[in-house]
Chain A
Amino acid sequence: MTDMSVNLAGVRLKNPVMTASGTFGSGMEYGEFVDLSRLGAVVTKGVSLTPWEGNATPRVAETYGGMLNAIGLQNPGIDTFIDRDLKFLEDFDTKVIVNVCGKTEEEYIGVVERLGDTNADMLEINVSCPNVKEGAIAFGQNPEALSHITREIKKKAKQPVIMKLSPNVTNIALMAKVCEEAGADAVSLINTITGMKIDVRRRTFVLANKTGGLSGPAIKPVAVRMVYQAASAVSIPVIGMGGIRTAEDALEFIMAGASAVAVGAANFTDPYTTVKVIEGIEEYMRKESVSDIKELIGCVR
């Protein structure tokens, strides 16, 4: 028997494969293709205190081996999210990780407090979205601000707190360490890398927001490197993501030190990607006679 379960800050996931926030909604749409109960966890799209309209369109652009997005965290707000999305997820045997966003510290705390008595198993704090002007990345690129908001959220949160880190920093190990010292239960990385695409025929930006977050296979080597650096610097669990589309990709992250991994943009290419990654990891473990996936976490040092 292969044991694929992992432990994230006291929360047991049946396998290490989850969805990356913002690429999977709350699972309602992709649930048409994959049995959500197969997944280690569903990480929902970021939710704020009030509904957010997001950015103007075009919001997405394809790039070589990747894509840019500048959705701007459009979401229906926490009330609808609790009544509709969290209720929908109650029916599945998977862990629910809610991605939390805000423009101010008060907004983040407000959302965290509203989630206290819900079926959310963990909270992922989005301090790294590159596509909104206020909040988000302003907290994620400054070590003092990151430390402060982590502490304040930890005071109010009833669930374990994952801080989602931005790759748009000089020293990722420092940012992970700052979160650990401020009491974070885990860190997840990487969020998207800020990028730009220009339409040379129209001589203008492709995205209405000018810049967007790059995701997809193109960013994977950067993400693996950063996961390795973060995992080497902290003892809290690290969740790895960035360009995963195969089991082999996921195993790279796990061997670099990730206790769990998330599939993001690859869902757009193939809605079955999450399940294929789970099955591929299982097959690898069987072939390589690995009885417990925990043997592989951080095995490359």
Chain B
Amino acid sequence: MRISERATIISQEQLCAGVYSMWIATNAAKYAKAGQFISVYVNSDSKLLPRPISICEIGDGKLRIVYRVAGEGTKELSEMSEGGSLDILGPNGNGFLAKAGEKITPDTKALLIGGGIGIPPMLELAKQMTCDVTIVAGYQSSQGMFLTEELESAGRLVVSTDDGSFGHKGTVVDAIAEEGITADMIFACGPRPMLKGVKKLAKEAGISAYISMEERMACGIGACLGCVTASTETDGHSKVKNKRVCADGPVFEASEVEL
């Protein structure tokens, strides 16, 4: 079930330079799952397309999004305040547990990996997990860290920074190696080079990795074929080696997609 409606802003705060957290009151919360996203429309008439933003937390009748200001649209979003309203459509996409859910038992060791603005969806997932959870979060530097306290309360947290100003110096994959972390399955969201590293790591360990992809979108619901990603096999819907990130994803088993 997808909702298209005007949502009211409950709160907005800046978490660190360029990263904002917004809670909105919406009926979409009823149907939302970890790893899904919502299409957010800014109020400027000059901007036609929605911004696909991952769901960071699901509350009772409300959703939290944590987003980075990447252009004019997200800048406008960041300037809105409590009591304001905006159009949203969602929840969209499949979510992290659509394929992995059944395979998780209380004994499962799950490794959640987030890089940069790919970290927010890991919070809701970590909160929902009923098994052993290790979270590895990669930031650029100590100044740009966000959500760390909340992640810490949802599982064991390991942090890496590109410049080494906090936690392990280097990438999330470096941190996993240095800490000797092992797992039964991986969930990841982050930039493409990180996802490539995660895919390799999972393949070497012989475990499944569920990765959340990002692509420029238009409709956000699977109609326009704007946001495809190359798949390893011919897709059942498209009949070509392409899958729709918005509708077939955004979460894919790493082995399904070419990175």
Contact = CB atoms under 8 A, between A and B. Distances in A.
B223 A29 contact: yes
A32 B223 CA distance: 12
A186 to B, nearest CB: 25
B225 A54 contact: yes
B72 to A, nearest CB: 9
B209 to A, nearest CB: 21
A111 to B, nearest CB: 15
Interface string B208-229: 0000000111111111111111
B240 A51 contact: yes
B103 interface: no
A77 B240 CA distance: 9
Interface string A13-34: 0000000001111001110110
Given A76-B238, A269-B49, A60 B89 contact: no
B241 interface: yes
B239 A77 contact: yes
A19 B216 CA distance: 23
Interface size bracket, B side = 20 to 34
A45 B221 CA distance: 15
Interface stretch (B40-48, B158-166, B179-187): B40-48
A24 B223 contact: yes
A58 B2 contact: no
Interface residues of A, number: 40
Contacts of A268: 48-50, 218-220, 224
B210 to A, nearest CB: 21
A45 B238 CA distance: 12
Contact of B219 (A29, A57, A58, A74): A29
B247 interface: yes
A284 interface: no
Which of A52, A64, A265, A269 has the most C-beta atoms of chain B within 10 angstroms of its own C-beta? A269
B4 A271 contact: yes
Contact of B215 (A23, A57, A62): A57
Contacts of B237: 76
Interface SS majority for chain B: loop
Contacts of A76: 237-240
B242 interface: yes
B30 to A, nearest CB: 16
Nearest to B73: A62
B238 A25 contact: no
Contact of A25 (B216, B224, B229, B241): B224
A80 B4 CA distance: 30
Contact of A60 (B73, B217, B238): B217
A65 B46 contact: yes
A298 interface: no
Contacts of A28: 223
Nearest to A62: B49
B239 A23 contact: no
Contact of B218 (A52, A65, A69, A271): A69
A25 B223 contact: yes
A269 B46 contact: no
Contacts of A61: 216
Interface in A39-77: 45, 51-54, 57-62, 64-67, 69, 71, 74, 76-77
Nearest to B224: A23
A96 B224 CA distance: 18
A66 B48 contact: yes
Contact of B223 (A23, A52, A64, A65): A23
A267 interface: yes
Which of A24, A25, A58, A74 has the most C-beta atoms of chain B within 10 angstroms of its own C-beta? A74
Contacts of A52: 240
Given A33-B4, A53-B241, A74-B238, A58 B224 contact: no
Contacts of B225: 45, 54, 59, 71, 74
A60 B48 contact: no
B48 A62 contact: yes
Given A65-B46, A268-B49, A54 B228 contact: yes
Interface of A: 22-25, 28-30, 32-33, 45, 51-54, 57-62, 64-67, 69, 71, 74, 76-77, 80, 216-217, 265-272
Given A52-B240, A71-B226, A74-B225, 8 more contacts: A22-B224, A32-B2, A62-B49, A65-B45, A67-B218, A69-B226, A265-B48, A271-B221
17 contacts: A24-B223, A28-B223, A29-B221, A32-B221, A51-B238, A51-B240, A54-B240, A59-B228, A60-B218, A62-B47, A62-B73, A67-B49, A69-B218, A69-B226, A268-B219, A269-B50, A270-B4
Q: What are the 5 tightest A-B residue pairs by CB atom distance, in nearest-first order?
A: A76-B239, A25-B223, A60-B226, A29-B223, A51-B239
